[in-house]
Amino acid sequence: MENEQIIRTEYSEVMQKSYIDYAMSVIISRALPDVRDGLKPVQRRTLYDMYELGIRYDRPYRKCARIVGDTMGKYHPHGDSSIYEALVVMAQEFKKGLPLVDGHGNFGSIEGDGAAAMRYTEARLQKITQEAFLADLDKDVVDFAPNFDETEKEPTVLPVRLPNLLVNGADGIAVGMATSIPPHNLGEVIDAVKAMIKDNQITNEGLMQYVQGPDFPTGGIVVNKDELPEIYRTGTGKIRLRGKVELEKGKNGRERLVITEIPYTMMGANIGKFLNDVAGLVETKKTSDIVDISNQSSKEGIRIVLELRKNADTEQLINMLYKKTRLEDTFSVNMLAVSDGRPEVLGLREILEHHIDFQFEVHTRKYRTLLNKELAKKEIQEGLIKACDVIDLIIEILRGSKNQKQAKDCLIHGVTEGIRFKSKASQKAAANLRFTENQAAAILEMRLYKLIGLEIEALQAEHETTLKNITIYEDILNNYKSMAKVIIKELDALKKEYAVPRKTVIENAREAVYEEKGPEEMEVVFLMDRFGYSRTIDKGTYERNKEAADHENRYVIPCMNTDKICIFTDTGRQHLVKVMDVPFGKFRDKGTPIDNLCNYSTAEEQCVFAECMQKVKMSVLVFVTEQGMCKQVEGNEFDVAKRTIAATKLADGDRVVSVTCLDETKQFVLVSAQGYFLRFAALEVPMKKKTAVGVRGIRLSENDRVEAVYGLDGTGDPVVLYKEKEVHLNRLKIGKRDGKGAKPRG
């Protein structure tokens, strides 16, 4: 087209702007609650839709599928699952301090069971939702905005009368930010609001005289009371939570630990994980005090029972549960909410300030609307009362008028032309009439029975009531104390009907001290056969089967069960295996492949040396490679925490042939593949770091390589076979390191 215009722009700028727009949309319109009503858009729309559908607390339940479909079609076009999930959470008593929806059917359980499909479940509004969240919507108390397709109107915020953001808390993940607000006790929060209305200079510490801390629907114990003032001042921090543990007497003098309340963070799948963790403590012999564990939880509440053996150390066991399981957990607080269209982290005082400002705005709009209605009524009532006094004249005007307009003009402006009057006096009186347009319309529509004496008296009484209401409303609108009194009265009514006792205990508790007992030390023998299967046996078993053990296994290493085994491979790596991880058993047990216990892979590398860490770190290790490089390394360099490290540096294509503990070794004999033997003093091998390549031990000809390494301690007459000939190593000529060596005579 001729009018087409191509706009050239930087791609990164378009992406950046688009992503920022998307991020702000998620933050404001999806993930974060509004500080005024404490609701996310999906929650607000669902509640408003239920209100519009007439699914009130005193009416029958309706299918959730109907609610979800209607909400999605009218207000929230983002998929049915998000709407149903929001509806379910608002009905779950174990997640919300104040459930807003009355659910009928399977709405899930505290143990993580999901709700039934929306076609099976039913719901309606709770009474408090109707009274404190959706009341007065017809009185212009909040702004309404067009929905997504501009076919409906929806409230931008609900006129909530209590700080729902604190009472029910909130959690949500936006783009680059997340909110996590714990639930609080309704009665305490209302008391804090009242205190702040009466004294707007009250400090955060003053407010915490009323709001002790979070009140989780699952109960539990908050154990860091002293840290709460700072958390509520800044809006961020960590709350430490513990489950409630009770001690009960069981059969045969045994005791049992009963968990009756759990941390809020343990809800759902974490209850099952807790049971598995406790079972794991028993299996790994971290404790022998627990005989049995059972989950006896029901609709009545949580009850997890740990049966204990006789004379169990219950205090030590409880501390271990706090340390090793989620029976003690942290709740991360980040009180982030949308305030004036922007995400903001708010402290307790700021949240209550926003709530009170919102309450005064809502009540101002409500009473202004009511005042305008009363003023309109007053105008009509005054007109009707005045009309009753001159009713004969009005009837004469109506009978003498040709049409309604003529009569109306006479009533409003005193226009008498064209109207037939019985006398000049009547015409003169009619010319003095000055009713307002609204009064004139009401007079023309008035029914004759209104002229009965009692009806006139009722009209006058109603007029007096209207005047009283106008006085009250004007006082509320013009006087801060009067409006504050109204708000406090409403809060008192809500507290009286809906407040419940606190469930969560707030205290300062000592850190759970649990000293993990190390395993009892004992001497064992580590065995690894040529296929890499390893096991440990006790020292006595080894001594009884010494000959068979030495013959059948490649490595036989006496060690302690608390030690580690070092495995050095031809690739120059060192792998560590905890002796405790190696299966302990009988002599004829098969054992476990060493691959399963560490990062050593028999498919990629070969073990050239194995020894216990205790001996390695007290020794000096000598490395010899295929290309003839050698070095000494202090053994304590290999005492590391990592399971796998590089034990030496290798040139390209090189591999480790031998690693030995120097100990009593005085000389080395290096044997090449082409039959060269080089004998030299061990002291000629220099001390290096494990990261060094080393020095040349033997000068090799092309295509030759070191095949074997022998250590001599100067005693005995060691003999090796070479090409089926015996070679006496002690009879070889002593040379120098870096020599070529010689072939043995023979």
pLDDT at 286 over 70: yes
Q: How many residues does the chain have?
A: 746
pLDDT single digits (tens) 561-593: 889 999 999 999 999 999 988 888 888 888 888
Has residue 112 got a pLDDT over 90?
no
Tokens, residue 696? 């040349």
CA gap 394, 439 in Å, rounded: 13
Residue 596 has a pLDDT of 85
H or E, element range at 259: strand 255-261
The pLDDT of residue 632: 93
Residue 485 has pLDDT above 90, yes or no: yes
DSSP 614-665: HHHTTSEEEEEETTSEEEEEEGGGG--SSSEEE-S---TT--EEEEEE-TT-
pTM: 0.73
pLDDT tens for 642-678 read 889 999 999 998 999 999 998 888 899 999 999 899 9
Largest CA-CA distance found in the chain, in angstroms, rounded: 165
pLDDT digits (tens, 9 = 90+) for 226-256: 999 999 999 999 999 999 999 988 777 788 8
For 292-349, write each residue's pLDDT tens digit.
899 888 888 899 999 888 888 888 888 889 988 999 999 999 999 999 888 999 999 9
> Cα–Cα distance between 180 and 237 in angstroms, integer?
10
Give the list of residues 6+ apart from residue 40 with CB closer than 8 angstroms, or none: 30, 31, 32, 33, 34, 86, 170, 172
pLDDT at 518 (0 to 100): 59
120 catalytic residue (yes or no): yes
Strands 505-506 and 221-222: parallel
DSSP secondary structure letter of residue 239? E
**Under a CB-based contact definition with an 8 Å cutoff, are residues 148 and 131 in contact?**
no
Q: Which helix (H) or strand (E) element contains residue 475?
A: helix 453-478
Q: pLDDT value at position 516? A: 61
Average pLDDT, the chain: 89
Q: What is the DSSP letter of 495?
A: H
Q: Residue 91 pLDDT > 90, yes or no?
A: yes
The pLDDT score that the predictor gives to residue 18 is 77
Tokens 């963070």: give the residue.
265
Give the tokens for residue 195: 């205190």
Per-residue DSSP letter, 111 = T
486-521 pLDDT, tens digit per residue, is 999 999 999 999 999 999 999 987 776 666 665 678
- In this prediction, residue 233 carries a pLDDT of 95
Residue-wise pLDDT for 175-215, tens only, equals 778 899 999 999 999 999 999 999 989 999 999 999 999 99
Residues 179, 331: Cα–Cα separation, whole Å:
12
Q: Would the pLDDT of 746 be above 70?
A: no
Q: What percent of the chain shows pLDDT beyond 70?
A: 97
Residue 118 has what DSSP assignment? T
How far is residue 341's CA from residue 36's CA, in Å, rounded to a whole number?
A: 11
DSSP state of 124: E
CA 622 remoteness from chain centre? 53
Give the dihedral of Cα atoms 411, 414, 417, 419; nearest 10 deg. Answer: 30
Handedness of CA 380, 385, 390, 391 (dihedral sign): positive
DSSP codes joined into one string, 333-364: EE-EEEETTEEEE--HHHHHHHHHHHHHHHHH
pLDDT at 1 over 60: no
Question: What does the alpha-carbon distance between residue 544 and residue 149 come to, in Å, rounded to a whole number?
Answer: 88
Q: Which residue has the tokens 């096991």?
A: 535
Task: Choose the catalytic residue: 120, 232, 367, 533.
Answer: 120
Residue with the bigger pLDDT between 197 and 400: it is: 197
Over the stretch 416-462, which tens digit does the pLDDT of each residue have?
A: 887 888 888 888 888 888 888 888 888 888 877 766 766 778 888 98
| 5-19, 310-324, 588-602, 704-718: least confident range | 5-19
How far apart are the C-alpha atoms of 82 and 601, rounded to whole Å? 48
Rounded-to-integer distance, Cα 296 and Cα 271, Å: 12
pLDDT in tens, 306-315: 988 888 888 8
Write the DSSP string, 184-213: --HHHHHHHHHHHHH-TT--HHHHTTT--S
The region of weakest confidence among 159-163, 280-284, 381-385 is: 280-284
Cα 421 to its chain centre, rounded Å, is: 84
3-state DSSP assignment of residue 668: strand
Per the CB < 8 A criterion, the answer to whether 20 and 134 are in contact is: no
Helix or strand run (H / E) with residue 305 = strand 304-308
The predicted structure's pLDDT at residue 421: 83
Cα 733–Cα 738–Cα 739 angle in degrees, nearest 5: 40
